[in-house]
Amino acid sequence: MAGKIFYRQRSKMVDGAKQPRYILVAVSGLDLKVYGQHLRMCELKQIAEAVGAELIGLNRGPKHAGDEDED
């Protein structure tokens, strides 16, 4: 793969909200400009496929290991 796109789930996400669920964190090894900050997974997958990049989801740190996600 040519590059990597790093993303994570938004922290202030409410179930049932009609808002994009993911936030773009970083892009490595690509000549890519992204103008939107909050994206849907289908949008992330389309971008990654178009530029030949790998999607990498970032996990929460050990401080939040006991917390349940608001999924």
- pLDDT for position 68: 53
- pLDDT for position 71: 40
Asked whether the predicted pLDDT for residue 34 surpasses 90, the reply is no
Residue 36 banded pLDDT, cuts 50, 70, 90 = confident
Decide: 53 and 42 in contact? Cβ < 8 Å.
no
Return the ∠ at Cα 11 (arms to 21 and 44), rounded to 5°. 30
How do the domains of the chain map onto residue ranges? 1-11+19-32+39-59
Q: Taking Cα atoms as reference points, which of 6, 33, 9, 32 lies closest to residue 20?
A: 9
- pLDDT for position 45: 93
What is the chain's mean pLDDT, rounded?
Answer: 79
- Look up the pTM and report it: 0.70
Instruction: Retrieve residue 45's tokens.
Output: 């997958």
Measure the CA dihedral 42/30/1/27, to 10°: -60
* Sign of the dihedral defined by the CA atoms of residues 32, 27, 56, 43, in that order: negative
